Structure 1
């Protein structure tokens, strides 16, 4: 092949090879799914929300929790992980969702909230205490965390918590989930445990970058 043609061939082929090398490593429909309509997020417009959907009675959610906690410090400042209790109908799932939203309302300190949240997971998963009603929840929270059970009961049935439940129910419906756990990026991209629990944050990283790229392209017009 003449030298000039060889250089021309390389100039045409090498970009195609490079493009193939950086193709998306994760595929829609296999590693994640795209919702037909974006679900409203609870973060600033400049931020990217990762909703961690969980239920205290779910062993896979319990296993995923420390994986997500190890992953969170690697996230950039524009990304925020938001816990979102999943519930489907008036059952123990809904009771546990109301428990979480009550604690989120009562406890402004993120570290203390995390500690209480983690201990509830352990109580349900390891001690088979279902925490199925307000009295059981109040007794546990008073014994383990010094939370006044009467104050807890007051918050549990408050307008603010019920409003959070309504908002949360709308989100869960919009995610079109068949179960939990799940990670939802930017209210659009859903990652479910079929990909493997350890892989869920890895795929979330990919989707976060995808959202950033989409926003940058949109900003350029």
Structure 2
């Protein structure tokens, strides 16, 4: 009787694993150590990254995720500079955008300026993007030079190190799972966006 029960239990476990909608090391991977953050969904990106540009403008992954997930799910986007001078300034500017609540306005304009028109050469050029988005120059300057922005830059850099970040775009779920972009269905734009969102939902509930 015990042997039969063991066989049935084994069958249930095998069925549960095989019937899981997504597979570890295919659509996602589990980190060796969980990173404690304030956010359930955390994206690392760079305005210099062509794939991040596609992610944001063509696939609109984060916008779709925000619309699909419950409002109480905390989502954040961290800009990565990889020790580049202008990249660092873009990181500062992005934190300002978050602080002012204008990420949705700034992201497409900044991506266009960096990737398409290539007009971001100096700190002044970055400031112009905010003015283009309707932000007063003095408000931008005040936020940029605030203690909060300086503190957040340090904090976000530490988080990237803790995740052992090696490239972007990278999305982490609950500080424990990382989406494997190469494992997502690429048969169509719609399929890619849908599966990406479904994988995130799946991992949030693990």
Deviation (angstroms), 1:120: 1.5
Q: Is the 8 A contact 2:45 2:168 kept in 1?
A: yes
TM-score, with length taken from structure 2: 0.78
Larger radius of gyration: 1
> Do residues 35 (structure 1) and 31 (structure 2) align?
yes
Q: Deviations over 1:148-178 (max 9, x none)?
A: 3243233223211010101110111111121
Alpha-carbon RMSD across the aligned residues, in angstroms, is 2.6
> Do residues 61 (structure 1) and 49 (structure 2) align?
no
Q: Deviations over 1:97-149 (max 9, x none)?
A: 111001222x24xxx431222221222222122x343211122322x123232
1:146 to 102, 122, 134: 134
> How far, CA to CA, are the matches of 2:129 and 2:104 in structure 1?
16
What residue number does 1:86 align with? 80
Aligned length: 189
Q: Is the 8 A contact 1:39 1:174 kept in 2?
A: yes
5+ residue gaps in structure 2? Answer: 187-191
What residue number does 1:124 align with? 114
Name the CA shift for 1:33/1:132 in 2 (closer, same or farther; >3 Å). farther
Deviation (angstroms), 1:37: 2.8
> How far, CA to CA, are the matches of 1:151 and 1:63 in structure 2?
30
Q: Deviations over 1:13-65 (max 9, x none)?
A: 6982685165334333343232233222124xxxxx10021111112112222
